[in-house]
Amino acid sequence: MHVLIVEERQNRGCIWKRFLERQGAEVCLVASSSEATAALSCQYFDALVINITMANSAILAVSDLAGYRNPDIAIVTVTSGSFFSDGSIFNMIPNACGCVGGDVPPKDLANIVSHYANKTKRRAHADVPNLK
- Write the CATH number for 87: 3.40.50.2300
Tell me if 40 is assigned to some domain: yes
User: DSSP character for 81?
Assistant: S
Query: Does any domain span residue 82?
Result: yes
Q: Over 60: is that where the pLDDT of 124 sits?
A: no
Sign of the CA dihedral 26, 99, 119, 47? negative
Examine residue 29 and state whether it is found in any structural domain, yes or no. Answer: yes
Write down the pLDDT at residue 131. 39
The region of weakest confidence among 44-48, 82-86, 92-96 is: 82-86
62 inside domain: yes
Outline where DSSP puts E strands in the chain.
2-6, 26-30, 47-51, 74-79, 96-101
| Residue 131 falls inside a structural domain | no
* Domain membership flag for residue 132: no
Domain count, the chain: 1
pTM of the predicted model as reported, rounded to 2 decimal places: 0.85
pLDDT at 90 over 50: yes
Is residue 88 one of the residues assigned to a domain?
Answer: yes
Average of per-residue pLDDT across 11-25: 95
Q: Which domain holds residue 17?
A: 2-126
**What does the pLDDT average to over 74-91?**
74
Classify residue 49: in a domain, yes or no: yes
